[in-house]
Structure 1
Amino acid sequence: MFDIKSFYEAKSVADAVDALVKDPDAEIISGGTDVLIRVREGKDAGRSVVSIHNLQELKGVKLLENGDLWIGAGTSFSHITNDPLIQKYIPMLGEAVDQVGGPQIRNTGTIGGNICNGATSADSASTMWTLEAVAVLEGPEGERRVPVSGFYTGPGRTVRERTEVCKYFLIPRESYEGWAGHYIKYGKRKAMEIATLGCAVRVKLSEDKTRVEDVRLGYGVAGPTPLRCRKAEEGLKGCAVADQEAVAAFAKAALDEVNPRSSWRASKEFRLQLIEELAKRAFYEAVRKAGGEVNA
């Protein structure tokens, strides 16, 4: 049994916000794969929950008139992976969330919950950073937009207020059109594992596919929050995709922008080794997916 004081199923986002305002002890719940675990462990026991799980307005993927991709916060990982628009425009995100937990978790857990949980190990997080996604929240004061890169404030903490509902995410057209990417999750086993480290690389190549026009490098579990290595990115722009020295320098430069810690999953030193190695592997795979050729 879960120690929950009350359960309310919201009829709309506005209704959910109203319920959260009226009950200062209430917490939002969608898929529940994180919230219910905290309740079971006693961390959030005895609280009220406001469910947005069945709100259709929070589900699905759409291509907007301006070319931006709209991803409902209540969309499950399985639906994201299998959505035709995701597969066509940003398959990297579908591949990343397909590494979350097992099938039951992926069928229930949502992209909004994964981001709003604030965990640096979230498999969607580093990819969403490299996609320059924007989170759209609604609260008592109305709607506001927050770049995912500014969403995290610390381990398990975000800028989302308790009375706010994450409605959807926007992926700008310029962040996926002409780009390709790859996400690597490192864990002690291939399934049902929280990431020891996550690495996401996106590239935009020149027309002849021989040079790097732009690149983005994101990590999870390389610091207290997900992060981007922007200085490392700048160093690789304009370089030939086959320039192994430039790629090695790109991967090594990332070490100056991360702050991993030792934990029971891995030591800081091992994570630093992963940070450097996975950057190269993810880059070369992203180049291959973008149509380039490398000898690495």
Structure 2
Amino acid sequence: MTLSAEPRISSELRIPIVVKRTVADNTLRGRIFNIQRFSLNDGQGIRTLVFFKGCPHRCPWCANPESMSPRIHVIKRQAKCLNCRTCLQDPDECPSGAMEYVGEDITLPELMKRLLKDEVFFRSSGGGVTLSGGEVLIQHAFASALLQELQALGIHTAIETAGDAPRDHLLALADRCDQVLFDFKIMDPSLARSILNMNQPRVLENFSELARRGVKLLPRLPLIPGYTLKPENMQQILDFLKPFHLNEIHLLPFHKYGEAKYPLLGKTYSMHKTPVPDAETLALYRALAESYGYRVTLGG
């Protein structure tokens, strides 16, 4: 089975209906597609990452294309298929695991139960939980409740976001987490809109508001050839950040780790022929960031 490509999500569908309270048990639910344990990136210490489903943006280099659609869908890994027809295209009946769901709806107690399996590692390493995506701001109600539960237990919390959402949605999460990993991409407003479906002026306004409120911010810059890996784009980001007097910045070099996922989703990976940045290029951009006084980390 080959899945057809997902329809493009219009800019009006900023908050797909993937967060809800069920009538039967009045329980808040969220939609996620992965829980990654024992991560040493995306925040301090040993962390568990929760990946939320749904994203309003369309970054050509996205390493998690399964996160774009808010819908739960099915993929089939042909290499695992036994051609037995037992499953009748139902992942629950597939004997080899060739068919699988991408995404699940989960209650807050169930998610907390899974996350707290690693509580001892959080406390021993100073780590915690990072909410990522997709774009976690799409599910701000569920994410806010989750962060509140984690903070009540003294667990370090962080979100990874591009900051492109109504301000009150962002603040609801920022007020309940210890750190915001804030991604800067294309600074030119017209290009950000046409290429990424991103409201760049709102992104900058939201970042400024978080800084004004004293939120602990960590700016992160994906270095993508042809898009963000341009001296003028990097310069614009650094000039914007300069008044906020931050100490640290992360540079995220382009990679192709998510390429194999695109065919499974019926999508075309447009970055197939794009080379990853070489060491010399990365050194130049690192030096530029360091010239502004930043402590620079390559990678998350």
Fold-level similarity (TM above 0.5): no
Q: Which has the higher contact order (CA 8 A, sep 6+)?
A: 2
TM (norm. structure 1) is: 0.29
TM (norm. structure 2) is: 0.29
